[in-house]
Chains A and B, each alone.
Chain A
């Protein structure tokens, strides 16, 4: 039995290296951190040693982009091996990645590219999630991505697709409220219809982040505060899923740590008002 404390509740913060020094010095009062697991896969690096140091004080979750669960190429065994090693070392409460593809045919885009929503693709993804869950020895948590394109081949809605994947693979869901909003605006569907169609009992975690308005579309840059319409949608999400851990993501133009704490406070307030 591990002595590391792993219970995740309240509003956590996405850990970024820009804040390492601040965290080491101030030990801020944060219920948990989510680490971008892909950045910690090499043993003995500065960032890995830092997380090992703070781990006794904070529960953590893993969040990755490298699984490429929607790719047609075989699962990356080396990547999975490293992930398992990191998991055994840091004991995250859970491991999440995205419902998309990032690499194919030997090349890695390091970006989240969406999938066509068809029954064939559902089956393909389910098979791969089952393999990953087998390797990890636990349920995978998958996140809905934001998107700027829809495929001609898609013959179901994104939320139908997610429901089928989650149901058939028995995995969990990470609900990114901002991603739903961004995609709803970009593809002219109702964010609320999408949200309410998701299986509430599968949702382990909620993500919040800020987008940039490019006039022709919203770009999911994670470089801004959470916007008003996303806070509104978050309130509805809380009503739909109940008391689920929430995380603030900020990846570009990263502000001071205290700004992230403010964002987390707002999330906490909205959550309390809507439970």
Chain B
């Protein structure tokens, strides 16, 4: 059927390939076939560019509108959406920026993008029910040792050489953090997660991020105890108190 070839050529041309528009589209005295195809290409790119500026507003401010639009259009051609869920689009932008020669002068750009993506992800992930931790005592010691904990489904961990969280804050309307006062080139361990309608960002100590990484990797309590020895009980209670750990389940 003609449709298969048509859709193949169209999708290719929306994302960078050439197309012989005259093969498919009628021209008239108003617009040529090529111009008519261009309306659709412009519309596809327009929606996706808008999506990127909605997800990455701080990056856009850092590089300026023109550069951002330019880099977006290259990104869209190299990473076209493959999911029917619109919220999935744009996840490789940080990697793309990291390898984009013309953006290398703004060395913290890729990590800023990563932070903005984690915030977007937190917004579009499930706000799941919390486990009832008061029941922990009902389990035998053996059961407890096999227990695994979980971060909220909205949570992500970020390790970066730049204070991108401060940078992000400074770019918010009405922020009292001044860009000139940020010590940007300092290592940052960060947890990003959502509680109801609010996205939280929390700087973590090295020990805390190691602990939450181990939790995220589904490490059972017995192994957490071996790894974190005398620090375990404090790490666990801080995590529970702050909602960094949201649920538990008995091991397999």
Contacts and interface: CB of A to CB of B under 8 A. Distances in A.
Given A49-B127, A108-B83, A151-B25, A116 B3 contact: yes
Given A45-B127, A104-B8, A152-B24, A219 B83 contact: no
Nearest to A109: B44
A89 interface: no
A108 B14 CA distance: 10
A149 interface: yes
B82 A108 contact: yes
Interface stretch (A34-42, A131-139, A157-165, A202-210): A34-42
Contact of A104 (B11, B85, B126): B11
Contact of B11 (A43, A109, A110): A109
Interface in B61-85: 80-85
A101 B7 CA distance: 9
Interface residues of A, number: 45
B207 interface: no
B99 interface: no
A72 B3 contact: yes
Contacts of B26: 149-152
Given A39-B86, A106-B82, A219-B39, A153 B127 contact: no
Contacts of A76: 84
A105 B8 contact: yes
B7 A45 contact: no
Contacts of A39: 86-87
B48 interface: yes
Contact of A41 (B24, B28, B85): B85
Interface string B111-124: 00000000000011
A109 to B, nearest CB: 5
A148 B80 CA distance: 23
B131 interface: no
Interface residues of B, number: 45
Contacts of A41: 84-85
A113 B10 contact: yes
Contacts of B80: 107-108
B39 A148 contact: yes
Nearest to B198: A46
Given A124-B1, A152-B24, A107 B87 contact: no
Q: Which 6 A-B pairs have the closest CB atoms?
A: A44-B126, A104-B7, A66-B84, A149-B36, A108-B81, A148-B39
18 contacts: A42-B85, A42-B124, A44-B127, A44-B153, A46-B127, A70-B3, A106-B82, A107-B11, A107-B14, A110-B47, A113-B40, A116-B24, A118-B2, A120-B2, A149-B40, A151-B6, A152-B26, A219-B39
Given A41-B84, A46-B127, A116-B2, 10 more contacts: A38-B85, A41-B85, A42-B126, A72-B3, A105-B11, A107-B11, A108-B84, A111-B43, A153-B24, A188-B28
